Amino acid sequence: MRIGKKSRARRALGFYRCAYGIKEPFRVVVDGTALQAAANLNIDLREELPKMLGGRAEVMVTRAVVAELRQLGKEFKAATAMAKRLAKLDATSSSQPGAASESVSADTL
């Protein structure tokens, strides 16, 4: 990560630590799009997120996101495999279309 980006990320995280009392270990909930992008760029989120956040980070995924990735087929096979290896988080969501995106939102966690 470039120095400028790292500095901005550290500054923003410092704000959230002070304003909202966020502290380690960070629980990061990712969605299917983030997993697919990481798979396309050959990035391991479990290694890179703690570096970016400056502390321990638990990368999690909801069960609705895993189910959505399975339904998307072979194009998302790498993202599905990555999602299966991450810790699962049960979130309240309905079985409607768009339930995966709703399960990741802060209101349902």
Alpha-carbon span 99 to 93, nearest angstrom: 6
Alpha-carbon span 29 to 5, nearest angstrom: 21
Contact 29, 109 (CB under 8 A): yes
Q: Report if residue 37 sits inside a domain.
A: yes
- What is the domain-level CATH number for residue 48? 3.40.50.1010
Digit-coded pLDDT (tens) for 24-71: 888 899 999 999 999 999 999 999 989 888 889 999 999 889 989 999
Check whether 101 has a pLDDT greater than 90: no
Alpha-carbon span 11 to 97, nearest angstrom: 37
Start-to-end Cα distance in the chain: 30
Check whether 103 has a pLDDT greater than 70: yes
Q: Report if residue 65 sits inside a domain.
A: yes
Q: Report if residue 20 sits inside a domain.
A: no
Q: What's the domain count of the chain?
A: 1
Alpha-carbon span 38 to 13, nearest angstrom: 21
Q: Report if residue 6 sits inside a domain.
A: no
